[in-house]
Amino acid sequence: MDEAARRALLAWYRAHRRDLPWRRTADPYAIWVSEAMLQQTRVDVATPYYERWMRRFPTLRALAVAREDEVLGAWSGLGYYLRARNLHAAAKQVAASPASMPTTAEGLRALPGVGPYTAAAVASIAHGEAVACVDGNVVRVVARVAGITGPIQAAGRRQIEGLAQQWLDPRAAGDWNQAMMELGATVCTPRAPDCTRCPVAGPCASAGLPQAAIEAIPGKAKPAAAPRPDLVHVVVVRRGGHVLLVRRPSGGLLGGMLGLPSGARTANVVASLVQAETGVRVEAPRGAAVAVRHQFSHRTWDMRVRTAAWRSGEPRSPARWVAEAELAGAPLPAAMRKALRAAGVEA
C-alpha cells in the first residue's frame, strides 16, 4: 500500500468512523475492556455491556477489588467467560504492583489473557506505539488488498502480519489500526463488500473481481467437526423461590459460572443425578422434558430440561441456593438462562 493510499484510508476513517463509546477516551483500561469484549462479539452486542461495565467498574482498581461473582455477573451473556476472569486477574496483578499498567505491547503481553492483538490495540490506541493490530477484519482487508487467496494458515498468517506492520502509519498508529479494522467491519465485509466506497480500491488486487470471488478471499480452511453433547439439566426450586445452582469448575467451557445440575442424556434417574452432584434430594420429575438448543459460536448444546421439586437436604459446595429475585444479576451464562426460562423461571 503506497503513501497516497495510506493518507486516503486515514482521511476516510476520520470522516466516517462510527461513534463508539471506547473511541471517546484514551484511557488504556477502557480500551482494554472494549477489546476484550469485542473478541467474538459484535459491536452492537458489546456496546451496552461495555457501558454497564464502565459504570460498575470505572477504573482498573475498581475491577481489581470486585468479587468474582460481580465480574462474571456483569459479563453474563457475552460468552467466553475466561475473558472476564482474565481481565479480573490482570487488574488484580496490576493493582498489586508498584508499577502502573504497562504501556507497551510487550509489557501488556505479560498480563493474564492478553494476546498479541489486544496488546497491540491498547499500546497503539492509548499510547501511540507503532505496532499493528491483526484481527479477523484486518486479515480479510490485507488478504484482499494483497491478493492472498489461500486459506490463512501459519505461513499465510505470518505474511499478513508482516504486511500489516509494513503498511502501518507510525505517525498515527492508533488511528491507522482502527481504520483498518473499521474498513473490514463496514466496507470490506465478509459478504457483499462495497468496493465503490473503499478508500484503497485503487491499489487493491481484488478490486474489479466478481463479488463471489472477492467474498471467497481469504480462503477458508475446513473446520473440524464440533462436538454436540446431549445433556439433561435439572431445575430444582425450593419453597420461598430459591433455585439450586452449581458453580462450574474454573477451566473449560463456562468455567467459574453458575449452572444447573446436569448430566449426560442417558442419565434417566434425575433424582439420583441431582443428589450425586449436590447432596440435595428431590422428587421424581413430572411431565415431559423440554428440549432446548443453545448455539455457541463454536458448538451446539442440545439440552433436555427437567423440573424437580425439592424434597430435603442442603446443597454441598459448589452447589447453592440462589433466590429467583437474584438470578438477573447472577453469573449465569445465556444457555442456563434459556434453560431456566424453558422451565418457567424468570432469569
Hey, which residues are catalytic here?
35
Q: How is residue 202 written as a grid cell?
A: 485503487
The residues, ordered by sequence, that sit 6+ positions from 206 with a Cβ below 8 Å of its Cβ are: 144, 145, 147, 213, 214, 217
Q: What does the H/E/C string look like for 209-236? A: CCHHHHHCCCECCCCCCCCCCEEEEEEE
List alpha helices for 17-108, DSSP H: 28-38, 43-56, 60-64, 68-75, 82-95, 105-108
Cis peptide before 261 (omega within 30 of 0): no
Q: How is residue 152 written as a grid cell?
A: 490463512
Q: What is the C-alpha separation between 133 and 287, in angstroms, rounded?
A: 53
Q: How many CB atoms lie within 10 A of CB 26?
A: 12
314: left (phi over 0), alpha (psi -120 to 50) or beta: beta
Q: What is the C-alpha separation between 338 and 235, in angstroms, rounded?
A: 12
31 alpha-carbon distance from chain centroid: 15
Please measure the distance between the N-terminal and C-terminal CA atoms of the chain and give it in whole angstroms: 51
Q: Say whether 330 sits in a helix, a strand or coil.
A: coil
Q: How far is CA 344 from CA 54, 221, 255, 324, 341, in A?
A: 32, 42, 25, 11, 5
Q: How far is CA 279 from CA 62, 90, 235, 318, in A?
A: 36, 35, 15, 10
